[in-house]
């Protein structure tokens, strides 16, 4: 027998057997799948846990009537600034045309211009604002109008007015404008001290110059401390450059705040917007309207927060209030009888949580404002009264 041939036949037989076995195996799998597919699985009885049948959310609000109420009193603010005409030599210099910040070009800019080189105006920026009185007073941000040589406001019906800057305050970022006319549509302020986290709010303004834009969200936090003089309202209503100075309103159409800042890593909205509480803004605006400037209250003390260790030593239940470190001789605090080591716990019925809280309360008051204080001294509660002096003294 030819060994090679025999071996070939054996190998062929083996391969044929494996092939048949494989067919049988595949056929078996197919049969099992078919059987499985035709079988109806028995239902598994699962008892769901007991839940409340009362829905917590019954539907999203319809903002269309709110927009119709708010929009007529919201304005777009356009500002212009004066710039000196460049000298003819500089304007024709190709290097300065391409690189105006080149050192020699900056030197030429600082040189006195010829007498016939009158200053000109150029667009500076766009912001927002809203009318607070029928005779044309408008609230906006200080940073919207700061440095502007001329200001104009445009209503949603395209009517445009020249605006006069009555005054502005950098520390609170509040400014007051005035336009000539009467019977303007106005927005009514709410009591921002009663604002609650989770409330629906709507922002209105001109982001990127897109007039009559509204966005909605909720109040994300209140009393948000960013290190500024104002304690902000935080919201997730989308706010972008151009929204500054516009109103943040509640679902009743009343203003709860002035949109002022965003927290972002790239300059665009990232879910965190900050608004000045309208109660704080109006205190500043009232002073600006009456005198054109802000004169803050002052009592003449140095203060610090209460630490846990200090609270224990002083006999306080919790580290709240503000510790008086020092008193200026002849100051309002000195006249009121405050002493170093006193802890102010309340002012006019409002709890004082920390030093910044107390500083804002006094600083936001007008000179001559009287506060009823609850003071902790020698592990006893004392009732005292103090009247603020002027910070200009």
Owner of token pair 């766009």: 126
Average pLDDT over the chain, rounded to an integer: 83
56: confidence class by pLDDT, cuts 50, 70, 90: low
Question: 229: burial class by Cβ within 10 Å (0-12, 13-18, 19+)?
Answer: middle
| Number of C-beta neighbours around residue 33 at 10 A | 10
214: confidence class by pLDDT, cuts 50, 70, 90: very high
| Number of C-beta neighbours around residue 321 at 10 A | 28
Please name every residue paired with 234 in a beta bridge, in sequence order, or none if there are none: 221, 274
pLDDT over threshold 90, residue 106:
no
- Residue 389 has φ and ψ, to the nearest 5°, of -100, -175
Q: What is the pLDDT of residues 116-170, one digit of tens each?
A: 556 788 888 899 999 999 999 999 999 999 999 999 999 999 999 999 999 999 9
The pLDDT of residue 176: 98
The pLDDT of residue 151: 97
103: confidence class by pLDDT, cuts 50, 70, 90: low
C-alpha distances in Å from residue 197, one per residue of 65, 180, 220, 365: 23, 38, 6, 26
Report the distance separating Cα 309 and Cα 86, nearest Å: 63
Report the distance separating Cα 173 and Cα 25, nearest Å: 81
- How much is the average pLDDT of 361-378? 92
The pLDDT of residue 255: 98
Torsion, Cα of 149, 155, 160, 165 (10° steps):
-30
pLDDT over threshold 60, residue 91:
no
Complete domains list, the chain, with CATH: 72-112+120-178 (2.40.10.10), 192-291 (2.40.10.10), 297-390 (2.30.42.10)
Convert the chain into a string of H (helix), E (strand) and C (coil). Answer: CCHHHHHHHHHHHHHHHHHHHHHHHHHHHHHHHHHHHHCCCCCCCCCCCCCCCCCCCCCCCCCHHHHHHHHHHEEEEEEEEEECCCCHHHHCCHHHHHCCCCHHHHHHHHCCCCCCCCCEEEEEEEEEEEECCCCCEEEECHHHHCCCCEEEEEECCCCEEEEEEEEEECCCCEEEEECCCCCCCCCCECCHHHCCCCCEEEEEECHHHCCCEEEEEEEEEEEECCCCCCCEEEECCCCCCCCCCCEEECCCCCEEEEEEEECCCCCCCCCCEEEEEHHHHHHHHHHHHHHCCCCCEECCEEEEECCHHHHHHHCCCCCCCEEEEEECCCCHHHHHCCCCCCEEEEECCEECCCHHHHHHHHHCCCCCCEEEEEEEECCEEEEEEEECEECCC
The pLDDT of residue 314: 92
Report the distance separating Cα 196 and Cα 198, nearest Å: 6
The pLDDT of residue 104: 66
Active site residues: 143, 173, 244
Q: What global pTM score does this model have?
A: 0.71
Report the distance separating Cα 187 and Cα 174, nearest Å: 17
Report the distance separating Cα 263 and Cα 60, nearest Å: 27
The pLDDT of residue 320: 92
């Amino acid at each position: 027998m030819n060994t090679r041939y025999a071996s070939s036949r054996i190998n062929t037989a083996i391969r044929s057997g494996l092939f048949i076995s494989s067919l049988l195996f595949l056929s078996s799998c197919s049969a099992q799948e078919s059987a499985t597919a035709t079988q109806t699985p028995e239902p598994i009885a699962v008892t769901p846990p007991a839940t409340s049948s009362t829905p917590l959310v019954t539907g999203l609000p319809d903002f269309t009537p709110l927009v119709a109420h708010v929009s007529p009193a919201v304005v777009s603010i356009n500002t212009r600034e004066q710039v000196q005409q460049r000298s003819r030599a500089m304007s024709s210099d190709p290097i300065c045309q391409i690189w105006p910040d080149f050192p020699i070009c900056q030197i030429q800019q600082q040189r006195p211009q010829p007498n016939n080189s009158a200053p000109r105006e150029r667009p500076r920026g766009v912001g927002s604002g809203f009318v607070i009185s029928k005779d044309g007073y408008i609230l906006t941000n200080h940073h919207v109008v700061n440095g502007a040589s001329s200001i104009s406001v445009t209503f949603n019906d395209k009517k445009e007015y020249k605006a006069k800057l009555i005054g502005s305050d950098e520390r609170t970022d509040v400014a007051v404008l005035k336009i000539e006319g009467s019977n303007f549509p106005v927005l009514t302020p709410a009591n921002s001290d009663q604002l609650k986290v989770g409330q629906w709010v709507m922002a209105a303004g001109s982001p990127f110059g897109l007039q009559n834009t509204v966005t909605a969200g909720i109040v994300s936090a209140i009393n948000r401390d960013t290190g500024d003089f104002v304690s902000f309202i935080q919201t997730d209503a989308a706010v972008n450059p151009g929204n500054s100075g516009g109103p943040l309103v509640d679902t009743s159409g009343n203003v709860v705040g002035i949109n002022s800042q965003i927290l972002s890593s790239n300059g665009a909205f990232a879910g965190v917007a900050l608004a000045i509480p309208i109660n704080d803004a109006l205190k500043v605006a009232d002073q600006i309207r009456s005198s054109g400037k802000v004169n803050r209250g002052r009592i003449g003390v140095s203060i610090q927060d209460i630490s846990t260790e200090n609270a224990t030593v002083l006999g306080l239940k919790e580290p709240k209030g503000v510790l008086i470190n020092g008193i200026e001789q002849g100051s309002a605090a000195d006249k009121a009888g405050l002493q170093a080591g006193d802890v102010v716990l309340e002012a006019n019925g409002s709890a004082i949580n920390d030093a910044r809280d107390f500083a804002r309360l006094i600083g936001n008051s007008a000179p001559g404002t009287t506060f009823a204080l609850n003071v902790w001294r020698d592990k006893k509660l004392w009732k005292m009264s103090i009247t603020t002096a002027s910070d200009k003294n």
